[in-house]
C-alpha cells in the first residue's frame, strides 16, 4: 500500500480529520516535504491532524539513497505532481542539497530549508496565493513562530 493510500485510510478513520476534509479545502498536492528520518511523514501527519489539509503535502523519506538518487526521486515527484515548492528540514541536509540542484535555473520554484510545523500550517491555509508565493510567506511565519519560554527569558536560573 502506498503512503498516500495509507494516509487516505488514516484520514477516513479520524473523525476530526474527516470533518475538516469535508470542507472545500484544497487537498491537491502543492508541495513536497523531505528530510531526515521520518521528518516529512511526521510533519505532514501533524498538519493533517490539525487542519485536515495534509493532502497538499507530499512527504518523502530518503533512507539509504545516494545524493544522485535523492535528486532523481525529488525531481520525479515534482514532475509527477506538478509542484514547484519543496520544504526541507536542514540547511546542510542532503535533501536541501539535492533540491538546490533541481531548482537551479528553475525560476518558478521555491525551496524552504529549515521548515517547521508553523511553516507548513501557514502554507496549507494560503490556498489563494500561488504555491511559491505561499511558501515564501509561510517561511516568514515559521521563522516568527519560534519562541522561548521560561528561564531563558530572564537570562538566569532560579529567578
Partner 1 sequence: MELFRIDDRLIHGQVVVGWGQPLDIGFIVLVDDTVASSDWEQELYRMGVPPEMDVYFHSASDAIAALPKYVADARRGILLTGDIATMQRLVDGGVVDAVNIGGIHSKPGRVQRLRYVFLSPDEESQLRVLASNGVNVSAQDLPGARSVSLPDLLAGSEL
Which parts of this chain interact with partner 1 (CB under 8 A)? 36, 64-67, 69, 90-94, 96-97, 100-101, 104
Is the CB of residue 16 less than 8 Å from the CB of residue 45?
no
Please state the φ and ψ torsions of residue 33, each to the nearest 5 degrees: -120, 125
Is the CB of residue 40 less than 8 Å from the CB of residue 60?
yes
CB of 50 to partner 1, least distance (A): 26
Looking at the Cβ atoms of 11 and 95, the one nearer to partner 1 is 95
Is the CB of residue 158 less than 8 Å from the CB of residue 111?
no
CB of 98 to partner 1, least distance (A): 9
Looking at the Cβ atoms of 41 and 113, the one nearer to partner 1 is 113
CB of 114 to partner 1, least distance (A): 12
Question: Dmax over Cα atoms in the chain, in whole Å?
Answer: 55
Looking at the Cβ atoms of 25 and 103, the one nearer to partner 1 is 103
Amino acid at each position: 500500500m502506498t503512503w498516500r493510500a495509507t494516509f487516505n485510510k488514516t484520514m477516513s478513520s479520524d473523525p476530526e480529520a474527516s470533518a475538516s476534509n469535508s470542507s472545500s479545502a484544497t487537498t491537491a498536492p502543492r508541495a513536497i516535504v523531505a528530510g531526515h528520518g521520518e521528518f516529512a511523514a511526521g510533519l505532514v501527519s501533524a498538519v493533517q491532524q490539525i487542519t485536515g489539509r495534509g493532502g497538499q503535502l507530499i512527504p518523502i523519506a530518503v533512507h539509504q539513497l545516494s545524493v544522485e538518487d535523492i535528486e532523481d526521486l525529488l525531481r520525479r515527484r515534482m514532475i509527477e505532481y506538478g509542484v514547484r515548492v519543496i520544504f526541507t528540514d536542514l540547511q546542510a541536509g542532503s535533501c536541501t542539497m539535492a533540491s538546490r540542484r533541481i531548482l537551479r535555473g528553475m525560476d518558478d520554484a521555491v525551496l524552504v530549508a529549515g521548515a517547521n510545523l508553523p511553516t507548513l500550517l501557514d502554507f496549507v491555509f494560503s490556498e489563494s496565493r500561488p504555491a511559491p508565493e505561499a511558501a515564501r510567506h509561510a517561511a516568514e511565519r515559521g521563522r516568527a513562530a519560534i519562541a522561548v519560554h521560561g528561564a531563558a527569558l530572564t537570562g538566569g536560573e532560579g529567578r
